[in-house]
């Protein structure tokens, strides 16, 4: 365990700006961001003032005490006690807020919570029911400000994750042939990536072949790969909590002109988008580059927005415009880490392609973290 004091201080300053008395941490990624370790279903509260409060399972007390010293920890034996500890902590914070600058007794106090995919809906409803005296709001205005820009330690971990994805893709290329199923390939790729240090993947491995290459999401099942198929492969291993995202599309056998046209168009989109990935650009602007290229190539009707998204402790993090459309206007900053190649370019009923890599934003454009061959041959 490593308490990131500066991150906590920065979060606290932002919370006070936002009128939040605290953030309820319930996801692995936020927990790791502040406390440097992964924990399944963690519970902690970072108040806008004072020290974090941990809510832990009672049989873990000795271990947690030795890591946290005299930090405030509330222990629970069952879920009722856990909820009670949360409510009690916020009651204390509400009382304290009356004496803290920046909080007005006339405005309902806010509590921030991450509302993304890792936060189950029922816990949010339960929190609101048990804590009616506060307004529960997304913690994004605080957490995005902190987490969008990566420090060198984070960039290095994402690079390591991406290197593991590259090993997985190498293995795929060794094994890919007609007759193999997505699941057989995913089994071997998973083994390779775990041996290289991956702790699972952020999404199921996608191996979408043939007509399924059109899919917006993917899976690896018992469908056999056939000669002539486009095969879209998306690998998302995690390393020390950080995510990778490497996608390639392969042509099994001799490529058709239409397949080549899709692929070459995507290559062009990748190149132009990468050059444009500089501080100040918006994700919306990046999408317009792709739209322009598709229009030139007569593929305009197949263009989709969402070429790029943030990546870090979450697989998709701010900006993530295919999840939250208002992220299209967020301005990219230096040292953000972004993917390019998120959206499928697909002709319905025919097939689709994607080539996705991870880049560091620099004033000279996107600097690729791991320069994996951009190719459809294997």
Which residues make up the interface to a second copy (CB under 8 A)? 38-41, 57-63, 77-80, 113, 115-125, 138, 183, 186-187, 190-191, 194-195, 197, 199-200, 203-204, 211-212, 214-221, 302, 304-306, 322-325, 344, 346-349, 352
Task: Please identify, using beta-carbon distances, which residue of 218 and 366 lies nearer to a second copy.
Answer: 218
Task: Please identify, using beta-carbon distances, which residue of 126 and 368 lies nearer to a second copy.
Answer: 126
**251's tokens:** 């042509």
The secondary element (H helix, E strand) that includes residue 234 is strand 230-235
Considering the complex, what minimum distance in angstroms separates the CB of residue 302 from a second copy? 8
Q: What is the DSSP letter of 57?
A: E
Considering the complex, what minimum distance in angstroms separates the CB of residue 291 from a second copy? 12
Task: Please identify, using beta-carbon distances, which residue of 63 and 151 lies nearer to a second copy.
Answer: 63
Considering the complex, what minimum distance in angstroms separates the CB of residue 346 from a second copy? 4
Task: Please identify, using beta-carbon distances, which residue of 62 and 254 lies nearer to a second copy.
Answer: 62
Q: What is the DSSP letter of 224?
A: B
Burial of 105 (0-12, 13-18, 19+ CB in 10 A): exposed
- With a CB cutoff of 8 Å and minimum separation 6, the contacts of 179 are 224, 225
Considering the complex, what minimum distance in angstroms separates the CB of residue 309 from a second copy? 13
Task: Please identify, using beta-carbon distances, which residue of 25 and 97 lies nearer to a second copy.
Answer: 25
Q: Is 31 within 8 Å of 44 (Cβ atoms)?
A: yes
Phi-psi region of 111 (alpha: psi -120 to 50; beta: other; left: phi over 0): beta
Task: Please identify, using beta-carbon distances, which residue of 103 and 266 lies nearer to a second copy.
Answer: 266
What is d(CA 158, CA 146) in angstroms, rounded to the nearest whole number? Answer: 17
Considering the complex, what minimum distance in angstroms separates the CB of residue 81 from a second copy? 11
User: How many Cβ atoms from other residues are within 10 Å of residue 103's Cβ?
Assistant: 21
Kindly give the pairing relationship between strand 53-57 and strand 73-76.
Answer: parallel
Considering the complex, what minimum distance in angstroms separates the CB of residue 126 from a second copy? 9
Task: Please identify, using beta-carbon distances, which residue of 145 and 188 lies nearer to a second copy.
Answer: 188
- Helix, strand or coil, per DSSP, at residue 332: coil
Burial of 307 (0-12, 13-18, 19+ CB in 10 A): buried
User: How many Cβ atoms from other residues are within 10 Å of residue 42's Cβ?
Assistant: 19
Considering the complex, what minimum distance in angstroms separates the CB of residue 99 from a second copy? 31
């Amino acid at each position: 365990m490593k308490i990131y004091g500066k991150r906590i201080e920065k979060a606290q300053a932002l919370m006070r700006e936002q009128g939040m008395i605290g953030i309820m941490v319930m996801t692995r990624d936020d927990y790791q961001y502040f406390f440097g370790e992964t924990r399944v279903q963690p519970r902690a509260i970072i108040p806008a003032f004072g020290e974090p409060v941990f809510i832990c399972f009672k049989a873990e007390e000795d271990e947690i005490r030795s890591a946290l010293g005299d930090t405030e920890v509330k222990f629970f034996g069952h879920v009722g006690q856990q909820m009670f500890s949360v409510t009690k902590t916020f009651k204390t914070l509400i009382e304290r807020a009356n004496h803290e600058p920046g909080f007005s007794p006339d405005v309902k106090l806010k509590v921030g919570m991450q509302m993304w995919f890792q936060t189950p809906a029922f816990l949010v409803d339960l929190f609101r029911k048990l804590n009616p005296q506060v307004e529960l709001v997304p913690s994004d205005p605080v957490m995005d400000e902190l987490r969008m820009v990566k420090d060198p330690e984070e960039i290095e971990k994402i690079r390591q994750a991406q290197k593991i994805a590259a090993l997985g893709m190498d293995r795929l290329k060794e094994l890919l042939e007609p007759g193999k199923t997505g699941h057989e390939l995913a089994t071997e790729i998973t083994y390779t990536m775990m041996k290289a240090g991956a702790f699972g993947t952020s999404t199921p491995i996608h191996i979408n072949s043939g007509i399924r290459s059109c899919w917006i999401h993917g899976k690896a099942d018992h469908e056999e790969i056939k000669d002539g198929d486009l095969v879209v492969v998306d690998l998302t291993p995690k390393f020390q909590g950080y995510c990778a995202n490497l996608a390639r599309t392969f042509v099994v056998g001799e490529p058709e002109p239409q397949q080549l046209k899709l692929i070459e168009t995507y290559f062009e989109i990748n190149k132009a988008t990468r050059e444009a990935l500089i501080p100040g650009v918006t994700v919306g602007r990046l999408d317009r580059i792709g739209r322009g290229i598709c229009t030139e190539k007569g593929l305009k009707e197949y263009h989709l927005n969402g070429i790029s998204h943030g990546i870090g402790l979450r697989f998709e993090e701010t900006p993530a415009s295919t999840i939250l459309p208002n992220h299209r206007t967020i301005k990219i900053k230096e040292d953000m880490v972004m993917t390019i190649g998120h959206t499928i370019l697909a002709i319905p009923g025919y097939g689709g392609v994607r080539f996705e890599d991870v880049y560091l934003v620099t004033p000279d454009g996107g600097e690729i973290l791991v320069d994996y061959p951009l190719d459809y041959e294997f």
